[in-house]
């Protein structure tokens, strides 16, 4: 066994990035390494319960009342939800820029605390899954890893669609205008945040970016079957790990009311943030109540605000990786975690995107034939019901997806990621393809 190393994971304060890092951290811990998670105070105890060390921090001043895990982003999404009904172009100024502003404010607030944590823990490598820079990581002088757990359009290329656009890959209409608007709305933030990075001992930000590229190791999650054809190769330190699915520790028993074999079994989840849109969830429940199929529904943080139909069962939070192998189809917001997990388990998708990279994932699933993208707030009832029927009946697609799943499960991304991080922790040298 290689000598023990100390590896710090610093995921964004949301379930998706945290779960990805947990999946990798489980492997590294099993190999004898010390694994420490830097998490927001609202997540206190959640990682310790899974056997990891924790170091707590805040991205803003303490609230007056106790927080739920990730409460800041739940509140932010709730207040911003009306913007989700607008085009991706309009969302640039009204959602994307304010979200990046909030993230950068958090990075400013927490930087001194991160310096304290790194000085105390003395990591051999720092692994971050964030979309903005945290200068303390670079200023520490330690090897570090950047994980991209959003759609890989985040790693920009002139030959692929602009990130957050949801535009098709085979039609360049609007690409230039979208990129110009993206640059315009983020220019003031880029200038001020780059100055902050330099004040705190990190390099200036690359042009048009709010985060640096690690010279040591970069990992991104996206199955090869739906990855983009680039005109410029990524740096040799970038590695695609396809998926990053954590171990399922407890089996999921299908509820008694769904065990009959009439109709297909469909999982509905808009993620912990998307499901907070109660009116949208109510409409989905109403429309799908007229389907002959059975539904498992992830109700999310507003679970007490709506009831499920007779052909449904659900709860506030559900063990998604344990449920996916059991279902035939997934109705999803197309968040990157759920999208990649659907490929990992071979499940076609109906995609209903709301914000961020969900539009990009939904479009990619649609244009590569692995599911259907529908307009989230304006779909006709027949569109959703027809999509469910057609995808459940498409045996050729199910066979195709099972082939993808077999490949992904035979070479798990979490194990490849752990091995790459371990190499960096042991050598301190860049890990190239």
Q: Are residues 303 and 387 in the same domain?
A: yes
Model confidence over 377-420: pLDDT tens digits?
A: 999 999 999 999 999 999 999 999 999 999 999 999 999 999 99
Query: Does residue 251 fall inside a structural domain?
Result: no
Assigned domain for 129 exists: yes
Sorted by sequence, the CB contacts under 8 Å of residue 418 that are 6+ apart come out as: 24, 27, 28, 31
Residues 36 and 73 in one domain: yes
**Is there a domain that residue 237 lies in?**
yes
| Shared-domain flag, residues 210 and 269 | no
241 domain residue, yes or no: yes
DSSP secondary-structure letter at 375? -
Residue 150 DSSP class: S
The pLDDT of 297-321, averaged and rounded, is 87
Q: Collapsing DSSP states into helix, strand and coil, what is residue 38?
A: strand
Residues 112 and 261 in one domain: no
Same domain flag for 51 and 177: yes
> Is there a domain that residue 250 lies in?
no
Cβ-contact 70, 40 below 8 angstroms: yes
332 and 224 in a common domain: no
d(CA 136, CA 102): 18
Same-domain status, 395 and 406: yes
Residue 396 lies in a domain: yes
Same domain flag for 107 and 223:
yes
* Contact between residue 337 and residue 236 where contact means Cβ atoms under 8 Å apart: no
Per the structure, the count of domains in the chain is 2
User: Does residue 320 sit within a domain?
Assistant: yes
357 and 228 belong to one structural domain: no
Integer CA distances (angstroms), 28 to 31, 148, 201, 231, 285, in order: 5, 19, 30, 35, 41
Question: From CA 433, how far away is CA 414, in angstroms rounded?
Answer: 17
Are 306 and 208 within one domain? no
373 in any annotated domain: yes
Query: pLDDT per residue over 68-100, tens digit each?
Result: 655 665 666 667 778 888 999 999 999 999 999
Per-residue model confidence (pLDDT) at position 67: 63
Q: What is the mean pLDDT of the chain?
A: 93
Tokens read off for 16: 């998706």
Report the CATH number at residue 10: 3.40.50.2000
90 or 66, higher pLDDT? 90
Tell me which residue range forms the domain holding 240: 6-245+412-427
296-318 average pLDDT score: 88
What confidence category does residue 2 fall into, taking pLDDT thresholds of 50, 70 and 90?
Answer: low
For strand 6-11 and strand 34-40, is the pairing parallel, antiparallel, or unpaired? parallel
Do 210 and 283 belong together in one domain? no
- Are residue 69 and residue 118 in the same domain, yes or no? yes
**pLDDT, average across residues 137-156:** 97
pLDDT digits (tens, 9 = 90+) for 231-274: 999 999 999 999 998 877 778 888 888 887 788 999 999 987 77
Beta strands in 19-124 (DSSP E): 34-40, 53-57
Residue 1 has pLDDT above 50, yes or no: no
Residue 425: pLDDT over 50? yes
């Amino acid at each position: 066994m290689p000598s023990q190393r100390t590896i710090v994971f610093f995921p964004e304060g949301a379930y998706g990035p945290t779960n990805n890092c947990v999946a990798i951290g489980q492997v590294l811990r099993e190999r004898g390494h010390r694994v420490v998670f830097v998490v927001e105070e609202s997540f206190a105890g959640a990682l310790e319960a899974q056997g990891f060390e924790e170091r707590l921090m805040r991205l803003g001043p303490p609230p007056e009342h106790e927080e739920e895990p990730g409460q800041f982003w739940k509140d932010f999404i709730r207040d911003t939800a009306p913007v989700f009904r607008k085009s991706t172009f309009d969302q640039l100024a009204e959602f994307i820029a304010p979200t990046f502003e909030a993230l950068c404010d958090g990075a400013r607030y927490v930087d001194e605390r991160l310096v304290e944590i790194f000085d105390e823990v003395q990591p051999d490598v720092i692994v971050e899954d964030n979309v903005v820079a945290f200068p303390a990581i670079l200023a520490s002088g330690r090897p570090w890893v950047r994980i991209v757990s959003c759609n890989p359009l985040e790693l920009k290329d002139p030959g692929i669609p602009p990130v957050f656009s949801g535009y098709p890959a085979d039609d360049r209409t609007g690409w230039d205008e979208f990129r110009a608007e993206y640059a315009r709305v983020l220019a003031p933030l880029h200038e001020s945040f780059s100055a902050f990075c330099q004040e705190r001992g990190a390099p200036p930000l690359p042009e048009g970016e709010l985060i640096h590229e690690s010279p040591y190791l970069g990992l991104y999650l996206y199955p090869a079957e739906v990855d983009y054809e680039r005109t410029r190769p990524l740096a040799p330190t970038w590695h695609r790990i396809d998926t990053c699915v954590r171990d399922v520790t407890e089996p999921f028993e299908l509820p008694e009311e769904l065990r009959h074999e009439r109709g297909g079994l469909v999982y509905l989840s808009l993620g912990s943030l998307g499901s907070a849109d109660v009116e949208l969830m109510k409409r989905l429940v109403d429309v799908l109540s007229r389907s002959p199929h059975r539904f498992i529904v992830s109700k999310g943080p507003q679970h007490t605000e709506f009831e499920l139909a007779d052909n449904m069962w659900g709860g506030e939070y559900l063990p998604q990786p344990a449920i996916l192998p059991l279902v035939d189809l997934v109705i999803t917001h197309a968040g990157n975690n759920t999208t990649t997990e659907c490929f990992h388990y071979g499940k076609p998708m109906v995609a209903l995107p709301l914000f961020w990279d969900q539009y990009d994932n939904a479009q990619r699933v649609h244009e590569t034939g692995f599911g259907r993208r529908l307009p989230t707030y304006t779909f006709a009832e027949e569109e959703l019901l027809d999509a469910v029927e057609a995808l459940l009946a498409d045996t050729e697609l199910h066979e195709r997806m099972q082939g993808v799943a077999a490949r992904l499960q035979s070479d798990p991304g979490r194990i490849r990621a752990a091995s790459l991080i371990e190499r960096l922790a042991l050598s301190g040298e860049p890990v190239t393809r």
